[in-house]
Structure 1
Amino acid sequence: MTNEIRSNQIRPDWWGKASAGAILGIGLALALVGLYAYLGPGGINAPGGRYSLMRYLEAFIWIAVFSTCFLFRSGRAAWVWLGVANLIAFAALFACRFHFFA
């Protein structure tokens, strides 16, 4: 009986994983789409309909990050790894913005 009750409960670390995927996932998606805007074909000033592509790409990346955040061992690990990924992605975006490379 005790095992049946426990199996129906949501594990506490799922909330940490889901919040990391939702909050840090959108930041990572924004940074990666920004990198695509700077480093993609034509650069940031490319003509055409790239803006709608970037909007759809952002949603796809966010869903992918949110879906894979449950593969971490704990909510803390999800926050740490996605936080580090955000720092790296935003540092690269900052470098692109100020022409440190590209």
Structure 2
Amino acid sequence: MSGKGAMPAARRLESRHWFGKSCAGALLGFGLAVALSGLFAWLSPGGVEGNGGKTQFNMWLISPIWAGVLCFVFLFRDSLRAWLWLGAANLAAFGLLGAIRLVMG
């Protein structure tokens, strides 16, 4: 079907970029999980100096976030997009964490 009003074919996800996506998810996903856990520690009740249970919860919060990033990283079209989006997410999360630490610390 070609013509003036024809819709272009949707680009399908491919498995050829799996190694780059896996590396992006493992490296940048871990950084993102650490930053999000830190944000939770600073913004939740009790602050970063919470009791022992809160410290354990923050520590164990990293694993499911990291696993989630590792699962969803394969939805990117290619490895370059995974690196760029996760890199931007890391910059935003660590920037916000640094700003909150300055304000609340």
Classify the TM-score, shorter chain: 0.7 to 0.9
1:28 to 12, 32, 45: 32
Q: Within the alignment, does 1:69 sit opposite 2:73 as a pair?
A: yes
Corresponding pairs, count = 92
- SS in structure 2 opposite 1:41? coil
Runs of 4+ in structure 1 over 6 Å off: none
d(CA) in 2 for partners of 1:92 and 1:38?
11
d(CA) in 1 for partners of 2:51 and 2:18?
43
d(CA) in 2 for partners of 1:76 and 1:30?
22
Q: Normalized against structure 2, the TM-score is what?
A: 0.81
* 1:1-26 deviations in Å (ceiling 9; x for gaps): xxxxxxxxxx4311110000000000
Superposition RMSD on alpha carbons, in Å?
1.7
* 1:19-67 deviations in Å (ceiling 9; x for gaps): 0000000000000000001001111112241111112110010000110
Unaligned segments of structure 2, at least 5 residues: 1-14
Unaligned segments of structure 1, at least 5 residues: 1-10
Write out aligned runs for 1:1-102 (5 A). 11-99=15-103
Q: Normalized against structure 1, the TM-score is what?
A: 0.84
Rg (Cα) greater in structure: 2
d(CA) in 2 for partners of 1:96 and 1:86?
15
d(CA) in 2 for partners of 1:48 and 1:42?
11
d(CA) in 2 for partners of 1:52 and 1:43?
14
